[in-house]
Structure 1
Amino acid sequence: MLVRTGGAGVPGLEGVPLLGSLFDLKTDSLGTYERARQRHGDVVRISAGPPGLRAELYCVFSAEGAQRVLASEAANFRKDNAFYQEVRDSFGNGLLTSQDTDYLRQRRLVQPLFTRKRVDAYAGAVTAETEDTLAAWTQARDGIVDVSAEMMHLALRAVSRILFGADVDATVDVVHRCFPVITEYVLRRGYSPANLPRTWPTPGNRRAAVALDELYTVCDGIIARRRGDASGQPAGEDLLTLLAVARSADDGTFDAAELRDQVLVFLLAGHETTATSLAFALHLLGRHPEEQARAREEVRGVLGGGRTPQASDLERLPYLTQVLREAMRLYPAAPVIGRKAVAATEIEGHAVPAGADVILAPWVTHRHPRYWSDPERFDPDRFTPEAEAGRHRYAWFPFGGGPRACIGQHFSMLESVIALAMLLRAYEFEAVDQEIPVSAGITLRAEGPARCRIRRVEV
């Protein structure tokens, strides 16, 4: 691979003639970003695409740089790139994609529904869905389960139950069927140098349109019921009902289209991210029996043999929380974060021009040897309070950071700790697939099964 320096002094990977690093990014973007850091440091420019359609990506890999982009200069780095526009066009203008006054208004309306007290009340939905998963595992063929697929199912059921209440069964099958079609479509268009209009009747456009129509229809029907009957009284007590009645003197309420946008974002971000964290936590424990035994001992000491965990148990499960945080370090659900610079600035001594596409990569920063010794090793003790106190705040940022940090991070940890506690109390896990290939989609994606052999634990 050819290397040159350019782009206002930023070292760069030029790649092959005509196309730059386009194929490297398409086939192994995470590996390409990691190699860029290893060879050229914490700010690297990567060119991708043919002349005239070439993208110039300014990749920032240090914790200090991540803090600058997400927090201290957050106003200068916007969600204005092509990828976010594709997400916006499919999943709507919800909290994940909205900006400026739209974002501030949405955040103010939604924030009261994500206080710690409110989120803790969702624990019952998580325990119910985890119990169903445990019951299903008694029929596991050869005692083997694919924890990637199983955690995706569990997390989707849990977030759908919290969002839709009694309508959970009406939505899960549609989401399970339609989301992969839509996310694949978004990825293909988001990373392509040029796209045909969505209205053209190509096979890909037609497949996506059918999936979007089915998804929108089921969401719109449930929203209509939640917004109440002619008397104006809403039905149900789920999160969607609370969103439907959320109001303030300054911000008004969500209309039906805005409600759908929020629902789709919560479905997207609320189940894939948690599923990723849970699946890789189980798989890592399946490869590290000593850490698994230590986590199970803590769980049984807190919950005993049969007590259902509650939100208040989280603070009594510090090692289990460390396991999850270490899994999120090695396998961050959002492995790549994109922004566009509004004005020229400087990061780590390198000039970043106005209009530049800026890439943060938690996948790379979470493995940076400046912050992590032996970074590929699984070690939950990296997240003791003492260890964290000595580390840069943005050496670990699976939930983003700054004013646009994920509003659902407490919910994600609540769901993950409760579900993992119940699963470990009931079963021992032994990894069958030792290495799981992954890729960067909208979220981190396992490109193969993550099978574990499970054995019932005697109570």
Structure 2
Amino acid sequence: MMAIQEFLPVPLTWFLLPLLAVLFYVYAVHPLFVFKKMGVPGIGFPLPIVGTSYQTAQMGVYNPEYSASDFGPVLGVFNGMNPILIVTDAEMIKEILVKQFHNFVNRQPEVQDINIKPQSRQVFQLRDEDWRNVRVALTPAFSGSKLKQMMAALNSCADQLVENLNSFVTTKESFDVKEMTGAFSMDVTARTIFGAEVNSQRDPQNPVIVHAKRAFDFNFKSPLMFLYLMFPSIAKPIFETINYHPFTPRDVTDFFDGVMEQLLEMRKTDGGKGRVDLLQIMIDAHQESGDESTNGPKVVGKKQPLTRDDVVGNGIGFFSAAFETLSTSMSFALYQLALNQEIQDKARQEINEVIGSEGEVDYEAVQKMSYLEMCIMETLRLYPLGASILRVSNEEARLKWVTVPKGMSVVIPALAIHYDPARWNEPRKFIPERFTKEEREKRNPMDWLPFGVGPRNCIGMRLALLELKVGLARALMKYRFVTGPDTVPVKLNKWKVLPVPMEPIRLRVEPLD
């Protein structure tokens, strides 16, 4: 080193400092001009390494204080050094989710895919042809004919819900709505996904319900979540090495992996005869090959059999997701109906007219409950299960005047769109009449996005709506839901991945005259 310095006309430090400054500019400063080159406005002043993380963090995930009008048609932000294009323009959204779907198939950058099986085989996380193969195999589970065969199981679970509510009629005490709907949701989900009876409404400490609750028990303030979101290229190899998944605790995965193993063994014994649940659909798709391998090559453009990891991963994924989303949406629906008694009466009147003297909530009756469906759709507008929709450009794509580079993340803020006064009159009010046939025809389809739109919309949407209708109809037929002295206005926790109130929703029930 001394010999080299003797030949340099200036000290080595003087040479290295400018070089480091140039490298710092190239790798940490120059990328921050990407949105300026695209002609897209930014938020605040992006800083090297951290980008606009502080400004965007203040918005939170579930923060209804912001609307699409605050963002403008497009807005550029930086999650660390990762540029993210926020899009609220309806025409651009349609291009992303429908017209140019081939350019925006994937839900996240590949660097954020944590390859830990079986979680990584869930249809929600798969990419490109892998996603198409599994989606095609799972779709038959949600056909009208399959849903119709699930009605007996749904009504059986609703019987227990009605019985549990009756205990609070006698005591006149308020109850935690999420606990009540969560037990119903657990039983329904276990029956429709696994064809199994859990009876969690009678046994709330059942290990299945305890672990299912923990499946979504994380928030974005976690240091490990921060590492994953800000520096995915660093987090990915570390997490995969230590077998850690940021979205699912390992013990939860191990528990449900064991449950799935038992269910698969049971199905081998009875052959799945007469079963119409999602698990049986996946088993049938798995047995098409007779090959137990989980790493076989995928043939592009040809339907592929599911692997065991596909079956287990999606069984776990659908079970935990369906349980949490159904109980959450049902809780918010009952809360709004308790606040708005005239709307509750109107929904109850329709239910009674449709069902008539028979009192049976069958598949055909549920399809006729249009006003109840409107109440559910308005609930999902105010409390969408996904605050935003994320896509990544596979190739360079043109969206009106904006050219999106290959590999850029694009976010559609569904919550902000649902609270946009330019799209919705009095957006913070609960008005089911927004979803009459006439009003829906007037509105742009891209203004209501709780299930997404296009080929990669929520695969379980039809089942979720059916479960909500059955549970709400059976409860409203018997009881009136009212607020109590301990009912507090709902304020969403902006750091949770699903809409969660800061304080539990507590209501009371009264017998109908």
TM-score bucket of the superposed structures, by smaller chain: 0.7 to 0.9
1:72 and 2:99 equivalent? Answer: yes
- Residue in 2 aligned with 1:59? 86
User: What is the percent sequence identity of the aligned residues?
Assistant: 21
Contact residue 62 and residue 365 of structure 1 kept, 8 A: no
Cα gap change, 1:153 to 1:21, in 2 (>3 Å): farther
Of the three residues 189, 193, 198, the one matched with 2:230 is: 193
Matches within 5 A, 1:247-286: 251=303, 253-286=305-338
Cα RMSD (Å) of the superposition? Answer: 3.2
Distance 2:304 2:41 in 1: 49
Distance 1:94 1:289 in 2: 41
Please tell me the residue identity of whatever aligns with 2:447. A
Cα gap change, 1:351 to 1:242, in 2 (>3 Å): closer
Gaps of 5+ in 2: 1-32, 290-301
1:454 and 2:454 equivalent? Answer: no
TM-score (norm. length: structure 1): 0.86
Contact residue 120 and residue 311 of structure 1 kept, 8 A: yes
Shift of 1:210: 2.4
- Residue in 1 aligned with 2:27? none
Moved more, 147-156 or 111-120: 147-156
Shift of 1:32: 6.5
Q: SS state of the match for residue 198, structure 2?
A: helix
Cα gap change, 1:131 to 1:406, in 2 (>3 Å): same
Name the count of aligned residue pairs.
Answer: 447
Please tell me the residue identity of whatever aligns with 1:293. D
Of the three residues 216, 233, 242, the one matched with 2:257 is: 216
Contact residue 273 and residue 334 of structure 1 kept, 8 A: no
Moved more, 167-176 or 302-311: 167-176
Shift of 1:20: 4.6
Contact residue 21 and residue 46 of structure 1 kept, 8 A: yes
Of the three residues 225, 233, 247, the one matched with 2:271 is: 233
Contact residue 67 and residue 419 of structure 2 kept, 8 A: no
Distance 1:234 1:6 in 2: 58
1:163 and 2:193 equivalent? Answer: yes
Which of the two has higher C-alpha Rg? Answer: 2
Q: SS state of the match for residue 439, structure 1?
A: coil
Please tell me the residue identity of whatever aligns with 2:122. G
Distance 1:139 1:300 in 2: 23
Distance 1:156 1:257 in 2: 23
Contact residue 490 and residue 501 of structure 2 kept, 8 A: no
Shift of 1:383: 0.6
1:178 and 2:211 equivalent? Answer: yes
TM-score (norm. length: structure 2): 0.78
Distance 1:131 1:233 in 2: 29
Cα gap change, 1:345 to 1:165, in 2 (>3 Å): closer
- Residue in 2 aligned with 1:29? 60
Cα gap change, 1:341 to 1:202, in 2 (>3 Å): closer
Matches within 5 A, 1:338-377: 338-377=390-429
Distance 2:52 2:507 in 1: 36
Shift of 1:42: 1.8
Distance 2:461 2:79 in 1: 33
Gaps of 5+ in 1: none
Please tell me the residue identity of whatever aligns with 2:230. P
Please tell me the residue identity of whatever aligns with 1:225. M
Please tell me the residue identity of whatever aligns with 1:241. Q
Contact residue 86 and residue 190 of structure 1 kept, 8 A: no
Distance 2:178 2:37 in 1: 41
1:307 and 2:334 equivalent? Answer: no
Shift of 1:180: 4.5
Distance 1:146 1:75 in 2: 44
Please tell me the residue identity of whatever aligns with 2:142. F
Distance 2:260 2:112 in 1: 22
Cα gap change, 1:144 to 1:245, in 2 (>3 Å): same
Of the three residues 493, 496, 509, the one matched with 1:438 is: 493
Q: SS state of the match for residue 446, structure 1?
A: coil
Higher strand proportion: 1
1:408 and 2:457 equivalent? Answer: no
1:316 and 2:355 equivalent? Answer: no
